[in-house]
Structure formats: C-alpha cells, structure tokens
Structure 1
Amino acid sequence: MKLRNETLIYAKMRKIMVLHERMMNRELKRVGLTMKQGQMLGDISRDEGINQTDLAVRLDKRNASATSMLQTLEKRGYIERVIPSDNERQKKIYLLPKGKKVVHDLTQLFSTVEEDIFDQLNSDDQNQLLVALDKILDGIADKTI
C-alpha cells in the first residue's frame, strides 16, 4: 500500500518534532529541569516581572499547576515571587542569578542543537521550507478557531 504524500509529510514533521523534543529533554534533564519548567524560565526571562496569572495563560496551565511549578523553581533558587505593594493579589516573578544563568546556558545549547538540525539545509532550502510551512499554517489557522 502506497502512502499519500500528505501522510508522509505529516509523519516526517512529527518525527522531527519528537526527535527535537527528545534532544531538548535530554539537555534539560542534565540541569534537573522538565520541558515545562525550562519553558517557564524562558518566558519569565523574556518578560521579567510577569504576574502568575499571565504566565499560566501563556503556558496554557491552570493557575494551581503554574503555582506548583513556580514553588518548585523558587525552592530551587531559580526565581523569586514578589508581592507588589499596589496589588497584593498579583505576585510578580523575577529570575534570580541562578535562573538567569540556566536560561543563558540553555539558550546557547538549544541554539546549537537547532543549528545542528538545520545545517542539513542550505539557505535556499531553508527559505523554501519556510514558505511551504507558512502555506500549511495559513491553510489550517482558520480551521482551529
């Protein structure tokens, strides 16, 4: 039975994402973080002082789950949660030096991993892939709402 091109393309895209996630998880495990914790630290680094509620929404987590993750990161010395005097209900989140260092190290590491992946394609191949992926995204974006 011959598979349709669409099926093969989807299978290969999925395989790339699975392998990429495995590589990332392996590196995160070395520093004792989960993918979601690494993602959380990255989001905090891009928006220092973000409040817990907004961070939970950004990560598509329930507030209680986000709070639990933040408590873990706080206990391990990656972040601090500060209660502003003007709004005691909205804790603001900041990276501590340990958190900044791990985000910096992981950013460099992930950049290297992504370079290794995309070094297989020259600049023209990468541009063609981007155009094709944009077409796919544009075609399904309206259907996911």
Structure 2
Amino acid sequence: MEHLEFVIERRILHIGNHLIAVRNRDLKRFGLTSSQSETLLFIEQHEGTPIVSLKEHLDVSHQAVQKTVGKLRERGLVTVSVSPEDARVKNVSLSQDGKQLCAELKRAGAISGDTVLKGLNDSERVSLLALLSKIDIG
C-alpha cells in the first residue's frame, strides 16, 4: 500500500480541485473570479484591511492584489482609503454593494458546501473542521 500521507494528500487535492470547479461555476453568475470572491470575503472579516494583508492572505504579488482590488473598485464593491497612521498604506473596505454581494456569496457557498458534505452528519462536519484546522499550511 502507498504511504498514507501520500494517499491523504492526493485525496485532499482531488477534493480541492472539485471544490474549485464548483466554486468557479457558481461565481460565474456573480461575474467574479475565485480570487475576487476570496478578496471580498476576507475584507468582510477584516474591514479596513491594508492591501498588504490581502497580499499575504491570497499569497500573491502586490501587483496581483492591486489589480484585483482595482477591478472590485471599478464595480463599486470596495473602497480604498489612505491609512490615517501611514500615508503609504492603503486600506480596503466593502461598499454597501460589496456587503450585499458577500451575503449572496455566503448563501451560495453554504448550498455548495452542503452538497459536498452531504455524506457527513453535523457531528462529523464539526470533527472534519477541527481536523482540517490542525493542518499547518505555513
């Protein structure tokens, strides 16, 4: 039998690929990319976050974050302001439209998540979350 770690890693990758495909399909109706959706949801949890925090969360270049934020700003979903503490720092917040869209994204994600997790009862879902939370991705 193959090493257990290798089998687990491949299973996680398979599940991840499936989730990405489902997510991308669902996001098309909102006119968003996966990165834009994750950006909005991160900003919702960290209102007024510096752009550098987005860069770290998404694990992308500063230019990529600037482009994503720029597109969301053009759509009126986020606002960008200069930090009162440091004029070199730009903070990002959700607009009212951005907040409404986040609520819609969470509703759609809950439906997708329920579909993916349909074979697990509530207790197993809680256990899965606890186990996944223990995995250190650096």
SS of aligned partner of 2:80: strand
CA distance in 1 between partners of 2:22 and 2:60 (Å): 23
Identify if the C-alpha distance between structure 1 residues 133 and 33 changes in structure 2 by more than 3 Å, giving closer, same or farther. Answer: closer
Identify if the C-alpha distance between structure 1 residues 4 and 78 changes in structure 2 by more than 3 Å, giving closer, same or farther. Answer: same
CA distance in 2 between partners of 1:98 and 1:127 (Å): 32
SS of aligned partner of 2:88: coil
Q: Could you list the per-position Cα deviations for residues 25-50 of structure 1 after superposition, in whole angstroms to 9, with x for gaps in the alignment?
A: 11111111110110011111001101
Q: Which runs of 5+ in 1 are unaligned?
A: none
Q: Which runs of 5+ in 2 are unaligned?
A: none
Structure with the bigger percentage of helix? 1
SS of aligned partner of 2:89: coil
Which structure 1 residue ranges, 4+ long, deviate > 6 Å from structure 2? none
Which one has the largest radius of gyration?
A: 1
**Percent identical residues:** 24
Aligned length: 137
2, 13, 16: which one aligns with 1:4: 2
Map of 1:97-112 to 2, 5 A cutoff?
A: 97-112=96-111
Q: Does the alignment pair 1:87 with 2:90? A: no
CA distance in 2 between partners of 1:101 and 1:54 (Å): 22
Q: Could you list the per-position Cα deviations for residues 50-93 of structure 1 after superposition, in whole angstroms to 9, with x for gaps in the alignment?
A: 11112212211211211111111101111010124442211111
SS of aligned partner of 1:100: helix
CA distance in 1 between partners of 2:75 and 2:13 (Å): 34
Quote the residue 1:73 is aligned against: 72
TM-score when scaled to structure 2?
A: 0.83
Instruction: Return the letter of the residue paired with 1:4.
Output: E
Quote the residue 1:53 is aligned against: 52
Identify if the C-alpha distance between structure 1 residues 81 and 131 changes in structure 2 by more than 3 Å, giving closer, same or farther. Answer: closer
